[in-house]
Amino acid sequence: MFDTMKDFPLGLGCHSEGTLRSQDLLATGADILDTLARHLKRCNDHDAWSNLEAFTLGELLGAARECCDAMASDDSDENEERASELFNEICDFLTDIAPPFVYFGAQEGDGACFGFWADVDGARDYVDGCGGDKPDAGEAARAGIGAYLHVNDHGNTALYFLDGVRGAPDDKPVWVEVWAVV
């Protein structure tokens, strides 16, 4: 759905921390879905969303709000299980619509910190290596290289995909930053 973090209305990082209560996680997930729904409406960006994505967003948001309301008055095991299932569905949906090699879930090393995280290892495997300087975009295009992972000497990492400059003279390819992490 989203090609880069610049297009994505939610940033990398933590959105819920210090709790594994299904009710708290589901409320956070619903808030994130609500932010995405408002972004979609505000930007009137229906072309970017498939009908299935928009339907799924609406269905998940409605179900999450309904479950949160039910849990406010009845924290039965049945509602707890439903909240956990819904939160897992929300995590899958958010990962599916996030930019490439970004996932929504628990942070590595902190199972109670949920948010959007760069999958550096997945990007490294996809790119099949990394280096210091980006190759020239024209040479990369001719060589069939479509992605580049930049890792500097401090460990800061950025993922780039090769893209043509639409409307520019000769439509020369350029590197477009997908995400960067420190």
Q: How confident is the model at residue 132 (pLDDT cuts 50, 70, 90)?
A: low
* Predicted pLDDT at 45: 56
> What type of residue sits at position 70?
A
Helices (H) and strands (E) in the chain, counts: 5, 6
**pLDDT score recorded for residue 86:** 95
Q: What is the three-class DSSP state of 176?
A: strand
> What angle, rounded to 10 degrees, do the helices at 77-97 and 22-43 form?
40
Report residue 124's pLDDT band, with 50, 70 and 90 as the boundaries. Answer: confident
In the prediction, which pLDDT does 167 show? 47
**Per-residue pLDDT tens digits for 33-76:** 999 888 877 776 555 566 667 778 889 999 999 999 999 888 78
The answer to whether the predicted template modeling score (pTM) of the entire model surpasses 0.85 is no
3-state secondary structure at position 122: helix
Range list of H helices, 98-160? 120-127, 137-143
Could you give the CA distance from residue 128 to residue 22 in angstroms, rounded to a whole number?
A: 38
Task: Give the three-class secondary structure for 119.
Answer: coil
Express each pLDDT in 3-31 by its tens digit: 889 888 899 999 999 999 999 999 999 99
The band of 130, judged by pLDDT with boundaries at 50, 70 and 90, is: low
3-state helix/strand/coil string of 11-47: CCEEEEECCCCHHHHHHHHHHHHHHHHHHHHHHCCCC
Distance CA 140, CA 148 (A): 9
Domain borders along the chain are: 13-118, 121-181
What is the C-alpha separation between 115 and 135, in angstroms, rounded?
Answer: 32
